[in-house]
Chains A and B, each alone.
Chain A
Amino acid sequence: MKEGYVGKRINRVDAREKVLGKPLYAVDFHMEGMLHLKVFHALHPHALIRKIDVSKARQLPGVVQVITAADVPWLKTYGLIFKDQEVLVKEKSRYMGDRLAVVAAVDEKTARRALKLIEVEYEPLEVISDPLRAMEADAPRIHESGQVLYDHPYNKGNVLAIDHLRKGDVEKGFAQADRIFENVFSTQCVDHVAMELEAGMAVYDPETDCYTLWAPCQWTHDIQTDVARVLGIRVEQLKIIQPEAIGGAFGRREDISVHIILPLMAKLTGRPVKWAMTRQESMIMQTKRTPFTFKLKTGVKNDGTITACHSEVIGDTGAYASTGSSIVHQAMYFSTGPYEVPNVEGISYTVYTNNTYTGAMRGFGATEAAFAYERQMDCIARDMGWDPAEFRLKNVYRIGCCTANGQVLTTSVGAVDTILTARNHFCHKGVPSAPYKKRGAGMATIMFGCGYGEGFPDHSIAGARVTADGRILINSAAADVGQGVKTILVQIAADILNVPPDCVDLAVSDTASTKNAGSTSATRQTIFSGNAVKQAAENLLGKIFHRANLELGRAYPELSVLDGDIILHGTSRQMSLGELAQIARDRGEPLEAEGCYFPRTDIDYQDGQGNLVYVAYTFNTQYAEVEVDTETGQVDVIRIVAAPDVGTAINPAGVEGQSEGGAAMGLGMALMEEQVFHQGITKNADLATYLIPTSLDVPDVETIIVESGDACGPFGAKGIGEPAMIPTAPAILNAIEDAVGIRLYDLPATPERVLAALKAKDREAENE
């Protein structure tokens, strides 16, 4: 291994503070005299609002302010891509999380009591919970003016977007096939369940007409821009300070939650305001994983070559767009998986319903697509008598292959290695623990495009400087939501500048003193902010050498930087970085530098084809072993083996952490998690009824890191956050099929579904 700090298992830079319980999360903020906010939500998921009466709430002692849409008619609408969401709804509620009024009171209890005094008259409309109903021409329109991308015959108020993918000639491809496989798969609505709930605090300064907001964001600068637009202020009037710790995100904190209402109420009340959601409020109001239906048709030759693939994808974005249309088309783009298919056609529909709106969640369409294509691959392998791994090896991407988006893969394609590595490590399945239980093994191989890609101006800017005391200060807005990017950035800077990681600090992240680092999403921070910091550190190192050369009068080859000192070779002379920084500052050329990573990608949305659609692809293969109780339908996951290709592991412990946590989240999606809506109403909005895996449900996850190297990230790295979870659900369902021969097409595989499938299989056997 190379000397230095990249590739080492250094401890996380924030772990010490966190085990002491010291970092302040958003909910921990407090200011003298601050008010507490509570929000009044819709009483019906789809209704015309006739009257909102807040007069009694306003009279409750301790209530300082109650507002409705009528009080703030100047607010603009918001949303990540389409601005279709009102801060406070005026005429119509579109889901149960819509806000009708905001209360500010001296304490939370008073605010909660005030909510009970608000009276609303409304006229219920048909609730649309099913996207197929939403697409029908006679379905009521959820949004009066749908922001339709293409002309189409469906309900224009409810079909938000239609996207296409065309590569080769799919009809010709199917004609070449010996066998055609058609299946329909569905994935469910899932909650992120980040442990930290949405919360924040804001103040308004009338002297400067400026706002300060403390609230977690996956992308501070984007939220800053949207909030400023909604409030009708200049971007610089709003400073967002990222809390020093964020309790998980998983895509949820890309969308706006508390970020508009807090500064708004700070100005209207003239006092600091705080808003902390309960779990129930968060689950009903904030984004979810988009539920999907995939119709897949695959043509295969008798020798196992895939000739064509057609996919029809419907995604339920819920009441608002958020990033829905991008999630849905990404799911469609990825529906061939990491397999060479010469002829591909796909169409996707993003549809509004009255369910809670959906948005980014770990995988962003790729997770859902992988469930469909990896179940499809397994079904094909089984039906054609192939070993599942061999069938995948026959078709999986290698260098020179062309993706469904038309991108020729030229570097860092470790897909084959991930399959071989995981298979070798997994070895074979064990023996059932009871006569009525059966064991099965399943695998899944996936790919994920890192970064936004598709021509989006995706970039990250970082700064690095030497401080007066000779330490290195990194300035980056990259959000560490728990995944560990802070540690990665410190490692990279330490490695380039040859200083111990504990001599590298990260500046507080706020929108005033940092530049855009892009979002902590799309598995992009290791590549984007990693590259930006690497470049900043290299530029800084250049300045250090230049200044040392001038001050010490020695040529570059005779200089080196080690552990915070400038060393002059062949002499006992050296100078500390702190001294050099002091001199440099006196000379008016401080030791500071900036780096930016701004690669170009492209796509033509007419057919989904491009030359460089994503900057890099992460591959991951997982094997799962399950034990199925044939009488109760319960599934125990016995083992998970993961072999992710991350290019280069900057911190192997961090990669393992993502892999283990991702597998656990995938296990929850596979077996137990589902946000249930009945007529638009969430039936399980707490952690007693919405179940995520406990320590007894998740087996030890064994991760063997594959390093194909040579990716575009720093030191050849790629990202791991999202691809860590993507193979898990299909691997588990494939293992269930291996164990008991039932073919499940829908998530989650609850005991109830498994048992029903087992009974159906028994009945079939009896009839034959």
Chain B
Amino acid sequence: MPKYPIELKINGDKYSFEVEADLRLVDLLRNHLQLLGTKEACGKGECGACTVLMDGKSVASCLVLALQANGSEIITVEGLGGEAALHPLQQAFIQYGAVQCGFCTPGMLMSAKFLLDNNPRPSREEIRAGLAGNLCRCTGYTKIIDAIEAVVEGRLER
């Protein structure tokens, strides 16, 4: 299998790799960088568990070849906020009970970030639409939407 060089920025750090043509972005993140927060649950772009930001846009990392991410900037859940300073979305997910099994959580957070980056004051319906590409089987979505709404309305406890 021929390998091809790529360079990209992931969570603020620069990396270069030699990768095979059929390696997907999700494999690069999980297997080469051990960024295991990004999950895979369908492999077909149907569930959103593998959502990351690529040049500021939410993408299903199971539907992006690693080579296609060449030159781009990737943010994963590990780059959203650190232990010391949780991102407000992360705080809200904790406080509003938006996490159950947690498998969809990283993808949900990344979709929520993409939504708020592009529309800082979404309505509840716009929040619903912003999460439409992320499946959750535990929560029924209500508390996830509550959490995002709390961030929008600045209702987080410090």
Contacts and interface: CB of A to CB of B under 8 A. Distances in A.
Chains A and B share a contact (CB less than 8 Å): yes
A700 B37 CA distance: 28
Interface in A179-209: 192-197
**Which of A19, A20, A660: most chain B Cβ within 10 A?**
A19
Interface residues of B, number: 53
Contacts of B145: 695, 700
Contacts, number: 171
A687 B44 contact: yes
B136 to A, nearest CB: 7
B138 to A, nearest CB: 5
A692 B100 contact: no
Contacts of A278: 43
Contact of B47 (A656, A664, A687, A700): A687
Contacts of A196: 39, 41, 101, 103
Contact of A686 (B46, B89, B106): B46
Nearest to A280: B43
B63 interface: no
Q: Please classify the interface of chain A as helix (H, G, I), strand (E, B), loop, or mixed, using the class held by over half of its residues.
A: loop
B36 interface: yes
Taking residues whose C-beta sits less than 8 angstroms from the other chain, chain A's interface range is 35 or more
Interface in B13-67: 30, 34-44, 46-47, 49
Nearest to A21: B37
B45 to A, nearest CB: 9
Contact of B141 (A248, A688, A698): A698
Interface in A359-378: none
A342 B138 CA distance: 38
A482 interface: yes
Q: Please classify the interface of chain B as helix (H, G, I), strand (E, B), loop, or mixed, using the class held by over half of its residues.
A: loop
Interface in B108-158: 109, 127-129, 131-132, 134-145
A20 B77 contact: yes
B100 A483 contact: yes
Given A246-B101, A247-B101, A481-B101, A21 B138 contact: no
B99 A15 contact: yes
B46 A195 contact: no
Interface stretch (A22-30, A265-273, A333-341): A22-30
B91 to A, nearest CB: 8
B114 to A, nearest CB: 14
B93 A15 contact: yes
A234 interface: no
B81 to A, nearest CB: 8
A199 to B, nearest CB: 10
A434 interface: no
Contacts of B129: 695-696
Contact of B78 (A21, A194, A481, A694): A21
Nearest to B133: A694
Contacts of A483: 100, 138
A195 B44 contact: no
Nearest to B1: A109
A19 B90 contact: yes
Contact of A279 (B35, B43, B105, B137): B43
B68 interface: no
A19 B41 contact: no
Nearest to B91: A19
Interface of A: 9, 11-12, 14-16, 18-25, 27-28, 30, 192-197, 245-248, 250, 278-279, 481-484, 653-654, 656-657, 660-665, 686-688, 692, 694-696, 698, 700-701
